[in-house]
Amino acid sequence: MNREQLERAVKLLGDEIAVIVPYATFGTAIDLSVYNKLQEQGIPVVIDAAASFGTITPEEAAHFGKGFGGAVVFSFHATKSFGIGEGGLVYSLDQDLIKRIRQAGNFGFSSSRESVTQGLNSKLSEYTAAIALAALDHFKAVRENRRTIYEYYLQELIQADLLDRGWSLQKVQGSVVHQFIPILSPDPYSNQEVVALLASNSIEARTYFSPACHQQKQFQSYSHFTLHVTEHIAKHIVSLPLWEELDEITVRRIVNVLGSLGKETTR
């Protein structure tokens, strides 16, 4: 999140702010100090750490989010590195907040089963919890495996000279259990063109997260500052395939297709 724009928004909106939701992009360990300060000023912060389960911070070598006074929300949805079907985890240093979240997720009941707050039923099912425990047993191997695949990509992208030809990978802070391989296409080419080129080579890729939030129907009417960087990314971002059996040869094939962009051969 752009720090200057954040500061401007906080000044402009003041008491109107209900919550600030920064995204720990694709699992990277973002610096939480500025958000801790906002929390201390009484502005609630919820970190969208959907893809960050297993992320280790570079400085303290601790799990991402540790010590944060707001809420850090991890997703266990099927598309995540720690996918158990559906579900997630909320971490906070604030034990009272956790207590209130537990209450809200249990029909808003107090310990005497009196409804004391607005609530819903958000409990993880026993069955899903059993899947989570089984997934946890393999998580170390999953981390290593995904790191190896990420390194194949890095190696092939360097080998094919693509990082010097305008393609760029996300800057990653800390050690991340990679969910996707997000990459930006070079300026003349949109992500749609890249996805179409890959598809014509029988390779499926997605455009997480494009269109950006403010470009979507549900949010278009809300006010926002200029979001040039977001819009640039939304036009160029591609999530390359990552599945756990992906081998080096397939990664090379995918990268070679990227390298052929704009070099349509005529026969």
Ligand X SMILES: *Cc1c(COP(=O)(O)O)cnc(C)c1O
Binding site for ligand X (CB under 6 A): 23, 48, 50-51, 75, 77, 88
Q: Which is nearer to ligand X, 88 or 105 (CB)?
A: 88
* CB of residue 206 to ligand X, shortest distance in Å: 12
CA distance 91 to 97: 10
**Nearest distance in Å: CB 18, ligand X:** 18
User: In angstroms, rounded to a whole number, what is the distance separating the alpha carbons of residues 104 and 115?
Assistant: 9
Q: Note whether 68 and 35 are within 8 A (CB).
A: yes
Distances (CA, A) of 232 to 190, 213, 219, 262: 10, 13, 18, 20
By beta-carbon proximity to ligand X, the closer residue of 77 and 100 is 77
Least distance (Å) from ligand X to the CB of residue 203? 22
CB of 42 to ligand X, least distance (A): 25
CA 256 to CA 149: how far, in whole Å?
Answer: 16
- For the bound state, the minimum distance from the C-beta of residue 233 to ligand X, rounded and expressed in Å, comes to 14
**27/255 with CB nearer ligand X:** 27
> What are the structure tokens assigned to 244, written together?
């756990």
End-to-end CA distance of the chain: 47
Quote the least distance from Cβ 22 to ligand X, whole Å: 11
CB of 48 to ligand X, least distance (A): 5
DSSP string, 109-136: B-TTS-B-S---B-PPPHHHHHHHHHHH
List of residues 6+ apart from 55 with CB closer than 8 A: 24, 27, 28, 29, 49, 63, 64, 174, 175, 176, 177
